[in-house]
Structure 1
Amino acid sequence: MQDGILVIDKPEGISSAAALAIVKRVTRVGKIGHAGTLDPMATGVLVCMIGKATRLSAMLMEGRKRYEARITLGIETDTQDRTGRIVRRQIVPPLDTDRIAGALDRFVGEIDQIPPVFSALKHQGTALYRLARNGKPLQKPARRVRIETIRLLRWAPPDIDIDVVCSSGTYIRSLASDIGNELGCGGVLSALRRTEACGCSLADALALERIRHLGGRCLERLISPLQVLSAIPRVIADNALTKKLCYGKIILASDMGESETAGRVAVVDSQERLLAILEYESGQKRFRYICNWTETDTLST
């Protein structure tokens, strides 16, 4: 199988793009992408999409993410993490776990978050971190993100360890800085590990060194999109629908029989193998292809 999702446990000190370059080199796949960048300092779940799965990038990035993060209080940097230039030091006040937990609770729910000036967001085609490194930092406006839960794991002054479940687009660096300010002494992100993303977890992941060792055999560990997009309704295709999919023809609501036509749907064959992911366009009264997984040899007999 050359199409699917490979979950990488990214090590520290390497960019997400560099990690993907290693996978592409050892597997010799043609198309590859990832669903959500991890900074070089961060480790953990990097969802790598191979072949036709690259067409699902936008869908996969909509999912929630989970992190274990360490915040070091009393320090502020220009990057909001330990890799940046220190711009301020403050005394850490006496704190206990109740005070810290109370501060964390104030960030649960929908919040407006200002993205870091050192980030991969782009302005007129240029990444913000490049502008910042060239002495031209640009502050993007605040945007709404959702923090589902924040749990205090450990308080060992000056470090706070937390577990965070959040929406896509949340910057944990910015959250760390805001928590430090809430506690009155500033703070930076000093360690970050992504434990879940896009329906995948560390249990699904292969270490990058393991991928290097396996080479092309790591493609045996590809995950079907059906596994990570389990909430999408499924339709079992009959022969007529399967043939239309194989030739990329227009799919109408009537082609789905009695199945629900609103929103997105995964079309599978009788053996629960993915054929396509479609989205209904009510104005056109037809489905658009998000991803067409079919090959000629999937035709039923």
Structure 2
Amino acid sequence: MSKKPRTVFRALDGLLLLDKPPGLSSNQALQQVRHLFRAEKAGHTGSLDPLATGLLPVCFGEATKIAGLLLGARKAYETEAVLGAVTDTDDADGVTLLERPVPELDAAAIEAALAPLRGDIRQRAPIYSALKQGGEPLYAKARRGEAIEAPERQVSVYALEVLQHEGARLRLHVECGSGTYVRSLVRDLGETLGCGAHVATLRRLWVEPFVAPRMVTLDELRALAQRGESGLDACLLPIEAGLSGFAAVRLDAERRRRLGFGQSVDCEPGEAGEVAVYDEHGRCLGIGQRDGARLAPQRLFRWAAAGGAVDNAPQDQPATGAG
């Protein structure tokens, strides 16, 4: 039997807005995309459960340096919750642990249960999650049958609204911050209603700054790959697209050179914090930290370095997050 030819990888920079299919982990989807593009370095920005579909931003090459920024961004989901059954994973992929009758619920009762789940709340992560405890993901401990006390942490839920209610099924719209588990929201909603609940379907709609994303499916990418890499590469967004929500600071050639050597430089005064830094030609150099009228390099792309200056190594492993 002939062996499959080994992929010859190439240097590639950019962002891909992947529409992840159901049945694959985020890392499995990432690896398929990476091999289609033959990208030397790749990472994703926030895990989606195998059951989940929707937007999974994939970062290639130098774009992996901004993966953490996208991981922490605001996200939106649509989910269908099934009332009356609790599973060990808090979704339909799990084993049913308990079934209870679903009471008659009107809009007021559902709203009363949703209200405490909005805003800045304390949330307990699912036992089957990528959240690490003692350096190991919780799901690995759960699969071994270990007793787990999933940690609580503060998360932000900006919107949690009912789109449709039919019998034991609720379709919800969720907008939330980094680290929020939709499965936990549904689980806690079910407990408040007194019948339990789990996620039947979950789709990520957008991740800031990609609030109206043109997503590409794996099937579309495979079809493009059959016709050559130019079609694949046309699907990529420039790294700058991931930084559109950041204040911009532009530098002339001399200040760009000094920043590339790791030195702080003068800049236009503005609000303190992380900013996107551009050269005199409008090319993004990376992320800087502005303090008044001073700018310090924080995470620069390789082309920002002048004569072997700052070049922070990107992460080869995918960033992890909640879904």
Note if 1:289 corresponds to 2:298.
yes
TM alignment of 1:32-181, pairs within 5 A: 32-181=42-191
Q: Report the RMSD for the aligned CA atoms in angstroms.
A: 2.1
Identity %: 35
**How many Å apart are 1:202 and its aligned residue?**
5.9
Assess, with a 3 A threshold, how the Cα gap between structure 1 residues 273 and 286 changes in structure 2: closer, same or farther.
closer
**Deviation per CA, 1:206-251, whole angstroms, max 9, x where unpaired?**
1111112223332222223433332311112211123335xx3023
Q: C-alpha distance in 1, partners of 2:278/2:187?
A: 45
Contact 1:236 1:269 in 2 (8 A): yes
Note if 1:17 corresponds to 2:31.
no
TM-score (norm 2): 0.84
**How many Å apart are 1:116 and its aligned residue?**
0.9
Instruction: Identify which of 237, 242, 250 aligns with 1:223.
Output: 237
Match of residue 212 from structure 1: 222
**How many Å apart are 1:200 and its aligned residue?**
1.8
Q: C-alpha distance in 2, partners of 1:124/1:108?
A: 30
What is the DSSP-based 3-state SS (H/G/I as helix, E as strand, rest coil) of the residue aligned with 2:234? helix
Q: C-alpha distance in 2, partners of 1:179/1:225?
A: 38
Paired positions, count: 291
Contact 1:66 1:194 in 2 (8 A): yes
**How many Å apart are 1:265 and its aligned residue?**
1.6
> What amino acid sits opposite 2:38 in the alignment?
R
Q: C-alpha distance in 2, partners of 1:271/1:45?
A: 31
> What amino acid sits opposite 1:251 in the alignment?
Q
**How many Å apart are 1:295 and its aligned residue?**
6.1
> What amino acid sits opposite 2:263 in the alignment?
I
Q: C-alpha distance in 2, partners of 1:222/1:281?
A: 33
Q: C-alpha distance in 1, partners of 2:305/2:154?
A: 44
Contact 2:264 2:297 in 1 (8 A): no
**Deviation per CA, 1:25-80, whole angstroms, max 9, x where unpaired?**
11111000011000100000001011001011221111111000011000001111
Q: Unaligned stretches of 5+ in structure 1?
A: none
What is the DSSP-based 3-state SS (H/G/I as helix, E as strand, rest coil) of the residue aligned with 2:139? helix
Assess, with a 3 A threshold, how the Cα gap between structure 1 residues 263 and 36 changes in structure 2: closer, same or farther.
same
Note if 1:194 corresponds to 2:180.
no
Assess, with a 3 A threshold, how the Cα gap between structure 1 residues 202 and 260 changes in structure 2: closer, same or farther.
closer
Note if 1:249 corresponds to 2:261.
yes
Assess, with a 3 A threshold, how the Cα gap between structure 1 residues 80 and 89 changes in structure 2: closer, same or farther.
same
**Deviation per CA, 1:80-112, whole angstroms, max 9, x where unpaired?**
111111110000001122321332222111110
Q: C-alpha distance in 2, partners of 1:266/1:90?
A: 52
Q: C-alpha distance in 2, partners of 1:116/1:73?
A: 17
> What amino acid sits opposite 1:147 in the alignment?
V
Contact 1:35 1:47 in 2 (8 A): yes
What is the DSSP-based 3-state SS (H/G/I as helix, E as strand, rest coil) of the residue aligned with 1:294? helix
Contact 1:180 1:187 in 2 (8 A): yes
Q: C-alpha distance in 2, partners of 1:170/1:232?
A: 23
What is the DSSP-based 3-state SS (H/G/I as helix, E as strand, rest coil) of the residue aligned with 1:200? coil
